[in-house]
């Protein structure tokens, strides 16, 4: 086990050196950095890819980037929807404030047929209170 750990630790150094392999008379394989007297072959050892620089890491980084971009797009869409809702609410508040201002001045009531009606002061006061209450519940100051 120690030999394997040592070999793995030295592998980057071995990548630049020539490594030789040969088989002894008993059929055992040997490795070394010096050519033996026996017949041998030179091994081509490639250095392992550097950590964080392989193709797999690039793929992971690209996927992460795409996920981030899609999350940002979703957040922007959500923000746009919220802004649209806020703009609609702001318009309703402006309309309610204009209606309240109108109720406090001179105005006329019309029924569904367009005929002018004459409400009592209590009806006008109740309408003003309803509009004020709606504004308090739905609008920011």
Tens of pLDDT along the chain (141 residues) come to 555 555 555 555 544 567 888 888 888 888 888 777 777 777 777 777 667 667 888 888 899 999 999 999 999 999 999 999 999 999 998 988 888 888 777 777 788 888 887 788 888 888 889 989 998 988 877
Positive/negative CA dihedral, 70, 72, 78, 80:
negative
Look at residue 140 in the predicted model and tell me its pLDDT: 79
Give the integer Cα–Cα distance in Å for 97 and 84.
Answer: 20
Look at residue 89 in the predicted model and tell me its pLDDT: 92
Look at residue 12 in the predicted model and tell me its pLDDT: 56
Look at residue 10 in the predicted model and tell me its pLDDT: 56
Tokens of 78: 């959500």
Give the integer Cα–Cα distance in Å for 5 and 32.
Answer: 16
What distance separates the 2 farthest-apart alpha carbons in the chain? 122
Tokens of 90: 């702001």
Look at residue 3 in the predicted model and tell me its pLDDT: 55
Q: How far, in Å, are 23, 71, 86, 90, 91 from residue 79 at the CA level?
A: 71, 12, 10, 16, 18
Q: Is 109 helix (H, G, I), strand (E, B) or coil?
A: strand
């Amino acid at each position: 086990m120690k030999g394997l750990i040592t070999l793995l630790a030295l592998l980057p150094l071995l990548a630049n050196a020539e490594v030789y392999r040969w088989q002894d008379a008993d059929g055992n394989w040997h490795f070394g950095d010096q050519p033996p007297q026996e017949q041998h072959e030179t091994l081509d050892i490639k250095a392992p890819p550097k950590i964080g620089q392989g193709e797999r890491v690039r793929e992971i980084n690209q996927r992460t980037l795409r996920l981030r971009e899609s999350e940002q797009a979703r957040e922007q869409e959500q923000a746009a929807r919220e802004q649209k809702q806020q703009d609609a609410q702001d318009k309703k508040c402006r309309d309610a404030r204009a209606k309240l201002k109108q109720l406090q001045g001179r105005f006329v009531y019309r029924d569904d047929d367009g005929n002018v009606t004459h409400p009592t002061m209590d009806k006008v006061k109740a309408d003003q209170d309803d509009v004020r209450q709606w504004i308090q519940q739905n609008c920011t100051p």
